[in-house]
Copies of this chain bind each other. A is one copy, B any other.
C-alpha cells in the first residue's frame, strides 16, 4: 500500500527517492514516516511493474534516480485509491486514500467515506458487545482501554459524518449531475470548492439515511 502515496506524489511531479521520503512524511500530516527499507524496494517493484520509469540524473558527482509515473501507473493509482487494501492496515490505508481524495469524483469520495464509516460502526459494535459481556470480571485497565477505544471510534465516526455531509452539500450545490471536479486539479493546492470541508459542519449532520446509535460518548 506504500505504492499509493508514492504514485500520488509522482502524479504531481517526477521525483527521486530521497525527495519522496521527505514528502511522504508530509502527505499524511506527519504521521507515517517511511523507511528506506520500504521505499526503495517499493520503487523497484513499481518499476518492474511498469508503473514508474526512472531517469538517471547527475548533479555534480551525485547520482539521482528521478522517477516519473507512466500511464500504467496512473491506472494502478486509480485502482489502489478505490479498492482493496489489507484490512489489518485499514486505518493507515484510509488515511492514505484521504490524502489523495482530490483525485476522486465526489460520488467516489462519499462511497469510500461510507465504507469506512460502516467499518468503524462494526468496530464500535464489537467493542460495545465486548464491554457488555466481559464487564464484571475484567481487568480495570483493559476496561479503560475498551472504553477509550469506544470514545475514539465514536469520535472518528462523527468526523466522518462531517466529511460526508460536506461532500453531499457540495454535490447538491454544484449540481448533482455536473461533478467534474476530479479531473483538472492544477496541483496539490486545494480546489476552492472542496476547501471548507473540514471547517464547516458540526451542526447539521444526521443526514437523510438511517443514522442512529453512536454519539453516546
Contact = CB atoms under 8 A, between A and B. Distances in A.
Interface residues of A, number: 47
Contacts of A149: 29-31
Contact of A139 (B134, B148, B188): B188
B188 A145 contact: no
Contact of A141 (B99, B126, B139, B147): B99
Interface in A115-155: 123, 126-127, 130, 134, 137-149, 151-152, 155
Report whether over half of chain A's contact residues are helix, strand or loop; otherwise say mixed.
Answer: helix
A95 B137 CA distance: 19
Interface of A: 26-31, 95, 98-99, 101-102, 123, 126-127, 130, 134, 137-149, 151-152, 155-156, 159, 163, 185-191, 194-198
Given A152-B152, A152-B155, 13 more contacts: A26-B130, A27-B142, A29-B127, A29-B145, A99-B142, A99-B145, A101-B141, A137-B186, A140-B187, A140-B197, A148-B159, A151-B155, A155-B155
